[in-house]
Amino acid sequence: MVIGDIIIFSGKSLISRAIQKFTKSKWNHVGIVYDTNEKYVVLAEAIYNGFKLKKYSKKNIEKMLKKEKIKIKKSKKTLNFIRTFILKYLGIRYSWFGIVKIALKILFKKLDLKGDNEKTLICSETVSRILYDCSEGYVDLEREFNKTHDFITPADINKSEFLYDILNV
């Protein structure tokens, strides 16, 4: 696992299950590797209190991988200045309303909802924006899924043709 790898999570909390149900996917959360060493992985992720850096032990990552609670993906395109682009989003508040808007958009396809352009973030939106920024527009999930970054889901990231699975930590 290296800086820039994507980790997609499958959780069991009430919110995790709601996301899984609405998106018809096992996956409900995503982050991007900011740093790694022999013992730890530092993941950049949008969680309940904003876009943060969070440390995970490699042993825990390996356990989750074996239990298929996470999936690790890598970009087909080289990602440049990834830490710089991650730092650009650090501290931005979490978008609880963004989750609701995605659910409404799924339920009512014709509903014309707009994003808030980085004022608040959800996990998959942030990863989508970072991938776009550090690939110089090559990894364009907006174009691939025909929706703005604000409406990209962990399920979309899992299905992206721009990413491929890696099997080990």
Residue with tokens 């730890």: 40
Confidence band of 168 (pLDDT split at 50, 70, 90): low
* Domain total of the chain: 1
Residue from 52, 53, 46, 14 nearest 29 by CA:
46
What's the pTM? Answer: 0.92
Parent domain of 42: 6-166
Q: Hey, is 110 helix, strand or coil?
A: coil
Output the domain CATH number for residue 37: 3.90.1720.10
> Is there a domain that residue 76 lies in?
yes
> Is there a domain that residue 73 lies in?
yes
- pLDDT single digits (tens) 113-152: 776 766 899 999 999 999 999 999 999 999 999 999 999 9
Q: Tell which phi-psi region holds residue 71, choosing left (phi > 0), alpha (psi between -120 and 50) or beta.
A: beta
Q: State the Cα–Cα distance between residues 118 and 85, nearest whole angstrom.
A: 13
CA angle (25 as vertex; 65, 88 as ends), nearest 5? 70
> Is there a domain that residue 126 lies in?
yes
> Is there a domain that residue 1 lies in?
no
> Is there a domain that residue 34 lies in?
yes
Contact 158, 25 (CB under 8 A): yes
> Is there a domain that residue 97 lies in?
yes
pLDDT, position 118: 67
pLDDT, position 5: 97
Confidence band of 40 (pLDDT split at 50, 70, 90): very high
> Is there a domain that residue 107 lies in?
yes
DSSP state of 151: G
Confidence band of 73 (pLDDT split at 50, 70, 90): very high
